[in-house]
Amino acid sequence: MNQSNVLYIDLERKGFYVKNRSELFNEWLGGVGAALQLYKEEAVKGVDPFDPGNAIVFAIGPLTALYPLASKVVAVFKSPLTGNYGESHAGGRSATAIKSAGYEAIVIKGVSDRPIYLVISEKGVQFRDAATLWGMGSTYTVGRVLREALPGAGVRTIMRIGRAGEKFVRYACVVTETYRHFGRMGLGAVFGSKKLKALIVHGKSGIRLPKIKFYRDAYDEIYELAVKSDSMKKYHELGTPMNVLPLNSLGALPTRNLSEAKFEGAESISGEDLAAKKLGRRVACSHCPVACIHLATIREPYPDEPYFYKTTFVSYDYEPMYSMGSMLGIFDVDGLLKLIDEVERGGLDAMSTGVALAWATEAYKKGFVKSNDVLVDIDWGKVDAYRVAVNFIVNQPNDFYKALAMGVDYASKIYGGREFALSFGGNEMPGYHTGPATHIGYLIGSRHSHLDGAGYSIDQKMKDLSPEELVDKLIEEECWRQVLSSLVVCYFARRIYEPSIVKKALNALEYELDEDRLKELGRRIYEEKQALKASQGFKPTELRIPERIFEVPTFHGLLDKNYMKAALEHYSKIFNKIVEKTF
Amino acid sequence: MKRLAIMDAERCVGCQLCMFACSRRLGFAGLDKAALHVKSIGGFERGFTVVVCRACIDAPCLRACPVDALRARAGGGVLLDLSKCIGCRFCERACDIGAVFWDDSTNKPVICVHCGYCVSYCNFRVLGMEMED
């Protein structure tokens, strides 16, 4: 087996060292399994997310740069949004670049005394002055400057934050390769707190394989599955916004801050319509033959000169279509794309931003906040006002926007309107109002994300589950996803990377793991996460359920409070058992 | 003899499966040993530059080699004799399109042999094989 080099970086001393951690990677595979342990080793216990003692860990896994769709990097940190366990995944070129630079994980600690960016390669780390980049208006520009200044075109990743990260917006993201993101839970703000503007990784390390024939056979099997499966084909054709119309027809598309779950403008923000009218280019993460990244074009005339246009490319996915489209009641697709672009420039998480603006709109309309709070006349569908408001979130010109930049949970504590503040465990709601499983999933998932246990999928496939069965199903799925996130493969490929295929892929690399051991490992990682959450102060009994979700029917009918309560009680028992076992 | 050719670079999505395939052909994983290269033109939105050997008939890289480590391949391009190569990098400099790649670990060039292995992994028909005119 290859060495498993971990690169440790101290921003305060501007120093680094590399250590072979094969024992850690043998035990935990890599990805989230390894990152979690590295976080526990390196971060100060109970630390504030913005304290120098908070650590950021990036990790890849044993399949990275080796198999198709093993295209993601996992980041683990303490989230400034939830004040608890933070985890976020991104693709682009990041995974291949880290592997090519010769590392399995990168650990970043400390706070720099001045803005810096890091250039990482096989040779180690350069600490470069980011004074010129700090405060730049757009993450696009930062990317462009670094792209032109640095080596490694084609085999590098350029992760950077926007002004939202510099200004500690609790849901600031880290942008990588312009159109991919460590989106959720505020990694961008943790970068900002460390005065870390960007992270560039490039390299050329080769990987020699002992069992090349087995490897090629396993590779070909996965490749065939990837290019021939129907689900992958859809991701390529329409991308994730293929979900807009099906969810809308189910009455599961949260609309105008989930005051409804059907959007009369769904057609205009659907994957079908966008592909037909706006799609300009499709691109792929490194080593992904699917190419789900969809870039729309907006062609805008300049008002001051005839026949003078600017053409902008905007990446669109289901999530921003929901959070800034239906949630804000926006029909105008060009306007929506411009709003997404604004969020991209500032470096914000699209989902949290949309949900924050949706809450602000309702709070304003209901009189919880006044016009001197919102400063611009926000209302459903008013794109231009929302574009201004996005910049207010970034710049925080008054107390209201300072609060909104902390997330809707915090803002609604100050201003009221808690019952329609759509956050779960402190994280703003994803775009699925499909039934009980999705909402229980947001509550009990380790990241409070739809991707933890995929409740939206359970809602669409099963009915008449008891609350206990439902929670068990969510946890079972979340456990298996720990394996996928340790390998690390894209969740879109989860139906390709079934246990038997994972085993085959690993065996060709001389990992002797059978399916039972893989599942056992997934369970252990899940338990480790719960224990870490407990040590950071998470208590299932303190989970708040926004009243709003009970007011709007799902296709399972209105959600039942007693059912939700029973589910949470069952989860609490499981959580407490895990915590007792570990301490 | 057929040669590797770019059928339509505009169709490239930048997945780099061709580069991975090329390394794999030689018994490696990753991108390091690839004899072709895909990079963005300057941001993903503008598309990709795909660099492959043109299979020149009168190859400048061959003419630049001081030790006869390169010989002409039937149908265009060159074949490398590693045992003769002294790692001077003249061939790399002679190729204006940058299709002579460098393997830092061996200090020798990596040059496409037009085997077409990469073509079978290009899902978007960017790459293909064609007959030399």
Domain borders along chain B are: 1-52+112-128, 56-109
Please tell me whether residues A464 and A320 are part of one structural domain. no
Is A53 near chain B, with CB under 8 Å? no
Q: Tell me the pLDDT band of A77, cut-offs 50, 70 and 90.
A: very high
Q: Taking CA atoms, what residue in A is nearest to B51?
A: A154
Work out the pLDDT band at B133, boundaries 50, 70, 90.
Answer: low
Residues of chain B positioned with their CB less than 8 A from the CB of A65 = 20, 29-31
User: Does residue A181 sit at the B interface (CB-CB below 8 Å)?
Assistant: no
Q: Show contacts of A156-159: CB within 8 Å, 24+ apart.
A: A156/A93, A156/A97, A156/A200, A156/A201, A156/A202, A156/A203, A157/A92, A157/A93, A157/A94, A157/A97, A157/A98, A157/A199, A157/A200, A157/A201, A157/A202, A158/A198, A158/A200, A159/A90, A159/A94, A159/A198, A159/A199, A159/A200, A159/A201
Does residue A502 lie in a domain region? no
For residue A580, give every residue at least 6 positions away whose Cβ sits within 8 Å of its Cβ, in sequence order, or none.
none
A169 and A263 fall within a common domain: no
Note whether A189 and A238 are same-domain residues. Answer: no
Q: Given CB atoms, is A212 within the 8 Å cutoff of chain B? A: yes
Q: Do A68 and B28 touch (CB under 8 A)?
A: no
Q: d(Cα A77, Cα A38) in Å, to the nearest integer?
A: 10
- pLDDT bin (cut points 50, 70, 90) of residue A230 is confident
Domain count, chain A: 3
**With an 8 Å Cβ cutoff, are A287 and B15 in contact?**
yes
Q: Is the pLDDT of residue A583 over 80?
A: no
- CB contact, 8 Å: B101 with chain A? no
Q: Let me know whether A256 and A337 are in one domain.
A: yes
Mean pLDDT of A140-151: 95
Q: What is the pLDDT of residue A205?
A: 85
The pLDDT-based confidence of A2 (bands split at 50, 70, 90) is low
- Whether B13 and chain A come into contact, CB under 8 Å, resolves to yes
C-alpha distances out from residue B11 to A228, B7, B50, B126, Å? 19, 9, 11, 6
Per-residue burial over A476-510, b if 16 or more Cβ lie within 10 Å, else e, is: ebbbbbbbbbbbbbbbbbbebbeeebbbebbbbbe
Please count the other Cβ atoms lying within 10 Å of the Cβ belonging to residue A405: 25
Least confident of A52-66, B33-47, B112-126: B33-47
Shortest alpha-carbon distance between residue A222 and chain B (Å): 12
Asked whether the domain spanning B56-109 has the same topology as the one spanning B1-52+112-128, the reply is yes
More confident residue, A478 or B30: A478
User: Which residues is A116 bridged to in the sheet?
Assistant: A129, A196
The torsion of the CA quartet B91, B95, B100, B105, rounded to 10 degrees, works out to: 50
Together in a domain, A191 and A314: no
- Domain match, A453 and A545 both: yes
- Do residues A159 and A175 make contact, with C-beta atoms less than 8 angstroms apart? yes
Mutation target for A interface from B26, B45, B52, B120: give the one with most A CBs within 10 A.
Answer: B45
Nearest of A128, A74, A78 to residue A105 by alpha carbon: A74
Average pLDDT across chain B, whole number: 95
Q: Tell me if A33 is assigned to some domain.
A: yes
pLDDT value at A430 more than 70 = yes
The encoded tokens of residue A123 equal 């040779």
Residue A131 sits at the chain B interface (C-beta within 8 Å): no
Q: Are residues A128 and A256 in the same domain?
A: no
CATH code, domain with A337: 1.10.569.10
Predicted pLDDT at A232: 85
A86 bridge partner residues: A77
Looking at beta carbons, which residues of chain B come within 8 Å of A293? 44
A11 and A155: one domain?
yes
Clarify whether residues A135 and A70 are in a common domain: yes
Name the pLDDT band for A263 (thresholds 50, 70, 90).
very high
- Return d(Cα A389, Cα A391) in angstroms, integer: 5
| Cβ–Cβ gap B28/A215 under 8 Å | no
Q: Does the pLDDT at position A399 exceed 70?
A: yes
Domain of A578, CATH number, reads: 1.10.599.10
Pairwise CA distance, residues A243 & A239, whole Å: 9
What residues of B are in contact with residue A212 (Cβ under 8 Å)?
Answer: 24, 27
CB atoms within 10 A of CB A237: 16
Which of chain A's residues have a Cβ under 8 Å away from the Cβ of B29? Answer: 65-66, 207-209, 215
Domain that holds residue A389: 230-408
The whole-number pLDDT of residue A3 equals 82
Q: Does the CB of A214 have a partner CB in chain B at under 8 Å?
A: no
- Read off the pLDDT of each residue in A264-292 and give the average, rounded to a whole number: 96
Residue A343 has pLDDT above 60, yes or no: yes
DSSP reduced 3-state for A48: coil
User: Tokens standing for A579?
Assistant: 């915590």
Match domain B1-52+112-128 to its CATH number in 3.30.450, 3.30.70, 3.40.50, 3.40.198.
Answer: 3.30.70
- Give B1's pLDDT tier (boundaries 50, 70, 90): confident
B9 CB near a chain A CB, below 8 Å? no
Please state whether beta strands B28-29 and A207-208 pair in parallel, antiparallel, or not at all (unpaired). antiparallel
In a domain, A425, yes or no: no
Please check the confidence at residue A373 and state whether its pLDDT lies above 80: yes
Helix axes A515-535, A499-507, angle to 10 degrees: 100
Structure tokens given for B109? 């060039």
pLDDT-derived band at B132, boundaries 50, 70, 90: confident
Interface residue B31 vs chain A (CB under 8 A)? yes
Among A177, A215, A289, beta carbon nearest to B44: A177
**What does the pLDDT look like over B56-94, one tens digit per residue?**
999 999 999 999 999 999 999 999 999 999 999 999 999
The Cα A93–Cα B122 span in angstroms is 18
pLDDT in tens, A161-191: 999 999 999 999 999 998 999 999 999 999 9
What's the pLDDT score for residue A579? 95
Three-state SS for B38? Answer: strand
Residue B40, chain A, CB below 8 Å: the answer is yes
- Whether B3 and chain A come into contact, CB under 8 Å, resolves to no
pLDDT of residue A502: 96
Structure confidence by residue, pLDDT tens digits, A482-522: 999 999 999 999 999 999 999 999 999 999 889 999 999 99
φ, ψ of residue B126 to 5 degrees: the values are -80, -40
Q: Under CATH, to which class is B56-109 assigned?
A: alpha beta
Do the Cβ atoms of A198 and A130 come closer than 8 Å? yes
pLDDT of res. A463:
87
Q: What is the mean pLDDT of residues B39-43?
A: 90
Q: Please tell me which residue, A1 or A368, carries the higher pLDDT value.
A: A368
Count of CB atoms within 10 A of residue A575's CB? 22
Q: If you measure CA to CA, which chain B residue comes closest to A214?
A: B27
B6 touches A: beta carbon within 8 Å: no
Give the closest-approach CA distance of B86 to chain A in angstroms: 21
The gap from C-alpha A300 to its chain's centroid, in whole angstroms, comes to 30
For the four alpha carbons of A152, A153, A155 and A156, in that order, the dihedral sign comes to: positive
Please name the residue of chain B whose CA is at the shortest distance from the CA of residue A227.
Answer: B123
A–B CB contacts, 8 A cutoff, strictly below: 97
| pTM of the complete model beyond 0.90 | yes
Antiparallel, parallel or unpaired: β A427-428 and A56-59: unpaired
Task: Answer whether A232's CB lies under 8 Å from A290's CB.
Answer: yes
Q: Determine the distance in angstroms separating the CA of A139 from the nearest CA of chain B, rounded to an integer.
A: 12
Selection from A140, A130, A200 nearest residue A166 by Cα:
A130
- Inform me whether the C-beta atom of residue B117 falls under 8 Å from chain A C-beta atoms: no
Residue of A nearest to B46 (CA): A281
